[in-house]
Amino acid sequence: MNVGWSLLAVIVLLLIPWIGVGVLGLDSLFGIVIPYACFLVFIIGLIYKMIYWAKSPQPFKIPTTCGQQKSLSWIKHSRLESPFTTWEVVLRMFFEIVFFRSLFRNLRAELQGRRLIYGSAKWLWLGAILFHWSFFIILLRHLRLFTNPVPEIIQGLDFMDSFLQTLGVPPVYITDVLIIAGLTFLLLRRLVDPKVSYLSHGSDYFPLFLILSIAITGVLMRYAIKVDIYGVKHLTLGLVTLKPTIPDVKIGTIFYIHIFLVSVLAAYFPFSKLCHMVGVFFSPTRNMANNNRYVRHVNPWDYPVKYTTYCEWQERFRDLLEQAGLPIDDEWCKEQQQTQKTQ
């Protein structure tokens, strides 16, 4: 059911610009107003989310340690898995965010009779890396639509991404293939793996379908349903220079579908699980140093608690202490009373 509703939602989203632009001719609504509005929601939403998280303090320093702590000088400590300094924390975060280090550790447990067998399970890591990195490179590549002249670095990236020139005209982007492969894997895994399928909500399928349709409309535009690329650049440059105009030439409805889906993704992003993109930077089990006994962490809402003091305890057990020959310390209690009075 979840899968069906998600797919249906994305199909409806596809139809909106199709009708809006193709039939009703609302080019400026779909080419200018909605992209601007959604981009604003994206930026403001993400900032809101970050402030929302940051407003709550992290009361305790709770890194998850996956390697040897720094203790005795002759024991080699794991700088990445049990960071002691800020620099080591930065390194740990870098590997986490750029290479998905924790996911790379993934194992698979199987119960065979009375035996548990563990095997390596790097497929999820691979699918995730393919998808995220391709998405990132594709985003960077798109900068060529928002810059004039196009910086050499973007041109270089474009060239590298399509270095398999032989595969057709226009040359196929490697990332186009990889992102679709990655997304398809993630989607199939969610559908086929009984555990993951059981725990998935509709809101887990929806972004997969949405991003997949963005990728597919993009690919279609490049290889099948050609759009007027000069018209596109005219529009995108207008958007980025804040002088938006709809070009005189007809760009093609598929472009509007593509940009509409991207807009929806942007607006949906901060308020869904996709916010993990910025959230991961805030994760206290990863971004804190394992140096609790070396540097004190302060909890801003810490408050004093009432505990059984030595003197209360001694009063209760005075006779037993005396009988057992254990020392009585009335001096300390007098001292404590006096300090209490002066306070």
Partner 1 sequence: MALPKPDELLQNVNLNRTPSQHWMDIKTEFKPGTYCYAVEPQVMKDLGLPNLGSWQPHDEKWPLPENWKEIVRDAIKTRMERFRSFKLFMDICVRCGACADKCHFFLGTGDPKNMPVLRAELIRSIIKGEFSTFAKLFGRFAGARPLTEDVIKEWFFYFYQCTECRRCSVFCPYGIDTAEVTIIMREILHELGIAIDWAMKPVRFSHFIGNHIGIQPHTMKEIIEYLVADIEEITGVKIEVPFNKKGAEILFVPPSGDYFADPGIYNFMGYLILFHHLGLDYTISTYASESGNFGFFNKLELAKKLHAKIYEEAKRLKVKWILGGECGHMWRVWHQYHNTWYGPVNFLEVPKSPITGTVFEHAKDNKIIHICEFTADLIAHNKIKLDPSRNDHVIVTYHDSCNPARAMGFFEEPRFILKHVCNNFVEMPENTIREKTFCCGSGSGLNTDEYMEMRMRGGFPRANAVEYVHKKYGVNHLACICAIDRAVFPALMNYWVPGVDVCGVHELVGNAIVLDGEKERTTDLRYRPLKGKEEEV
Name which of 18 and 133 has its Cβ closer to partner 1: 133
197 CB-contact burial (10 Å; exposed 0-12 / middle 13-18 / buried 19+): middle
Name which of 21 and 124 has its Cβ closer to partner 1: 124
- One-letter amino acid at 83 equals P
CA end-to-end distance (rounded Å), the chain: 66
54 touching partner 1, by CB under 8 A: yes
Name which of 129 and 232 has its Cβ closer to partner 1: 129
Name which of 55 and 243 has its Cβ closer to partner 1: 55
Query: How far is Cα of residue 41 from the mean position of the Cα atoms in its chain?
Result: 18
Residue 114 has a CB neighbour count (10 Å cut-off) of 5
Cβ contact 36:239 at 8 Å: yes
65 touching partner 1, by CB under 8 A: yes
Which span (103-111, 157-165, 177-185, 232-240) binds partner 1, by CB under 8 A? 103-111
Query: If you compute the radius of gyration of the chain from its CA atoms, what whole number of angstroms results?
Result: 29
Which span (45-53, 139-147, 174-182, 218-226) binds partner 1, by CB under 8 A? 45-53
Contact pick of 69, 85, 162, 184 for partner 1 (by CB under 8 A): 69
204 touching partner 1, by CB under 8 A: yes
Looking at residues 105 to 134 of the shown chain, list those that interact with partner 1 (rule: CB under 8 A): 105-111, 114-116, 118, 124, 128
Which span (22-30, 31-39, 58-66, 142-150) binds partner 1, by CB under 8 A? 58-66
Name which of 13 and 254 has its Cβ closer to partner 1: 13
Looking at residues 3 to 42 of the shown chain, list those that interact with partner 1 (rule: CB under 8 A): 5
Least separation in angstroms between CB 233 and partner 1: 34
Instruction: Give me 200's structure tokens.
Output: 């998935």
Looking at residues 267 to 326 of the shown chain, list those that interact with partner 1 (rule: CB under 8 A): 271, 273, 275-276, 279-280, 282-286, 290-299, 301-302, 305-310, 313-314, 316-317, 320-321, 323-324, 326
Looking at residues 173 to 202 of the shown chain, list those that interact with partner 1 (rule: CB under 8 A): 193-202
244 touching partner 1, by CB under 8 A: no
Of 213, 252, 216, 212, which is closest to residue 232 (Cα–Cα)? 252
Concatenate the DSSP letters of all residues of 216-241 into one string: HHHHHHHHTS---HHHHHHHHHHHHT
Instruction: Give me 238's structure tokens.
Output: 């207008």
Least separation in angstroms between CB 10 and partner 1: 13
Name which of 15 and 62 has its Cβ closer to partner 1: 62
Number of residues that bind partner 1 (CB under 8 A): 102
Concatenate the DSSP letters of all residues of 269-338 into one string: GGGSGGGHHHHGGG-TTTSS-S-TTTSPPP-TT--------HHHHHHHHHHHHHHTT----HHHHHHHHH
Name which of 243 and 296 has its Cβ closer to partner 1: 296
Query: How far is Cα of residue 266 from the mean position of the Cα atoms in its chain?
Result: 14
Name which of 150 and 181 has its Cβ closer to partner 1: 181
Least separation in angstroms between CB 171 and partner 1: 33
**How far apart (Å, rounded) are the C-alpha atoms in residues 196 and 253?**
36
Torsion sign, CA atoms 192, 195, 201, 205: negative
Contact pick of 75, 169, 224, 242 for partner 1 (by CB under 8 A): 75
**How far apart (Å, rounded) are the C-alpha atoms in residues 225 and 311?**
85
